[in-house]
Amino acid sequence: MKVLVAVKRAIDPNVKVRVKGDGSGVDLNGVKMALNPFCEIAVEEAIRLKEKGVVCEVVVVSVGTSAAQEQLRTALALGADRALLVETNAMLEPLNVAKYLSKVIDNEKPQLILFGKQAIDQENNQTGQMVAQLIGSGQATFASAISYADGRWVVEREVDGGSQVVALTAPAVVTCDLRLNEPRYASLPNIMKAKKKPLEVIAADGLGASVREHTRLLKVTPPPVRKAGINVSSVSELVEKLRNVAGLV
Amino acid sequence: MRTLVIAEHTGSQLTAGTLSAITAAIDLGFETDLLVMGGAEASDVAEQAALTKGLHRVLLAQDEMFEKTLAENVQPLITSLVGDTYTHVMADASSMGRNVLPRVAASLDVGMLSDVIKIVSADTFERPIYAGNAIATVQSIDSVKLLTLRASAFAQASSHQDRCEVTAVNGGRSASTVSFVSEQLTVSERPDLSSARVVVSGGRGMQSKANFALIERVADKLGGAVGASRAAVDAGFAPNDLQVGQTGKIVAPDLYIAAGISGAIQHLAGMSGSKVIVAINQDAEAPIAQVADYMLVADLFEALPALEQAL
């Protein structure tokens, strides 16, 4: 059985972004980039499924510029078997990414397609669900546990107010939440080995997906600045402030 | 121009997030219908929802297959309802809205905008990106605009006495690709985290699950909800549905008290829209101090009981 993991090159989660002065976007010049943390969890899960003998091949795929090869190599170093880059310089919208990925899925025929639940840059939380619709498969979003039993994927999901378990027939789309697992670190020998693993570059235009523009980014602004706060020296002073100044308690 | 709001309910009433989505929809200025889906209980919810101020019509889709609002079952229904009728489809950016709407978007071959915090015009919207460190103004050029809305950015719609029409609709399809197995919901007497007026949150500094009782007692004194940082959830101090942050709930209460929370970027993304922020932390240099209106540098094991006493 084969698992396909979609991964995204995104800003390092510990970087605080700066909005460009002209309002055209955030300044990514010289900013540290990484594998989107949720995608890292998806890769880790795929590798664990392979270690358990549930799947035999882990394929990672990314849609983006050639720079994303770096993140695909990271995924290979973590234990993925081979990588695919759908290369494009276009502005990427979730539906277009989903269309490219569904073409890749048609070719690869995986039994499980793993995603991170969202990318920490655009925070859309859409691509996995869109792919599931496009390929007509079931979806389990925000997964906190994945197992395979009696020919079905059994997934525990994090939902508002608690958790829910659903069972999906293959091929299934699962998007990974934070608590699914703790991703491993790539060892130096594995990083070296990853350089020799296959990484195929596919031109996005060659996939035959009918993509078009759906949204236009008009401007990006910094969030409103909060005014500076004050230090209080005791609990009684705090309560007095909340009572008198803010009228909250 | 016509708007469809996808309702979410608890089995007896609309969620606070749905009431916020209705406000956003009505502010947009078009005739607004509400779709209520569910099993046997849904008709009572629809009747009650029909009293919500500003609604034109309530559509009731009652069927066992809608009971758990599985995306695969409800998508065909929503897609067929949208047809040529609706130009805007909105839902709360809850786990249900996030799960279902992208599937509907793909079926309609349109894009979608997540977590909208402001409606600028019928096709232009504001949404936070990069953990709330930037606000994007985005224009949708599709014929149908699909949006999830951040509940904390919109007031909740109120009820009035004029009941609008309730119309039964059908058209779902029970998907063979997925089945519901079980669910486990956290039972709590406290107000819902996403809509509470006061939230008291604990972080890693609480040190244990037992110590979280200190947070709960302060929350109860204030009639507030309990929240937690990711560190506290991962350490098992609190269940994960109480997590506040980029990957958990986004809250904007009148008062947010953060105890033993350092204030990582990802946590701030979930609460920095709160009106008044209080931080109780032993570390005066903790990043939470940068957003706190009132910072108390103290041992929270002394400060929290003292706060409970003083309230």
Residue B161: pLDDT above 90? no
Contact B102 A137 (CB under 8 A): no
Contact A129 B114 (CB under 8 A): no
Nearest chain A residue to B107, by CA: A133
Residue A88 in contact with partner chain B when CB distance is under 8 A: no
Rounded to a whole number of angstroms, the distance from the CA of B81 to the nearest CA of chain A is 17
CA distance B161 to B67: 28
Which chain B residues are Cβ-neighbours of A231 within 8 angstroms? 284, 294-297
- Residue B157's closest CA among B292, B17, B40, B298? B17
Residue B286, token pair as written in the block:
């903790």
Mean pLDDT of the residues in chain B: 95
Rounded to a whole number of angstroms, the distance from the CA of A74 to the nearest CA of chain B is 22
- Residue B222's closest CA among A97, A181, A239? A239
Q: What percent of chain B has pLDDT over 70?
A: 100
B186-211 pLDDT, tens per residue?
Answer: 888 899 898 899 999 999 999 999 99
Residue A141: Cβ-neighbour burial (10 angstroms; 0-12, 13-18, 19+): buried
Neighbour count for residue B283 (Cβ, 10 Å): 14
Residue A2 in 3-state DSSP?
strand
Residue A98 in contact with partner chain B when CB distance is under 8 A: yes
Residue A175 in contact with partner chain B when CB distance is under 8 A: no
Which chain B residues are Cβ-neighbours of A95 within 8 angstroms? 105-106, 109-112
Rounded to a whole number of angstroms, the distance from the CA of A23 to the nearest CA of chain B is 9
| Higher-confidence position of B171 and B245 | B245
Nearest chain A residue to B291, by CA: A226
Which ipTM did the prediction report? 0.95
> Is A143 within 8 Å of A174 (Cβ atoms)?
yes
- pLDDT < 50: residue spans in chain A: none
- Residue A141's closest CA among A116, A123, A108? A116
Contact A160 B96 (CB under 8 A): yes
- What is the predicted pLDDT for the residue at A134? 98
Alpha-carbon dihedral sign for residues B213, B219, B220, B221: positive
Q: Pick from A17, A214, A249: which is nearest to B134 by CB?
A: A17
Q: What percent of chain B has pLDDT over 90?
A: 92
- What is the predicted pLDDT for the residue at A227? 87
Cis peptide before A171, with omega less than 30 degrees from 0? yes
Residue A4 in 3-state DSSP?
strand
Average pLDDT over residues B140-154: 96
Contact A118 B129 (CB under 8 A): no
Q: Pick from A126, A218, A232: which is nearest to B114 by CB?
A: A126
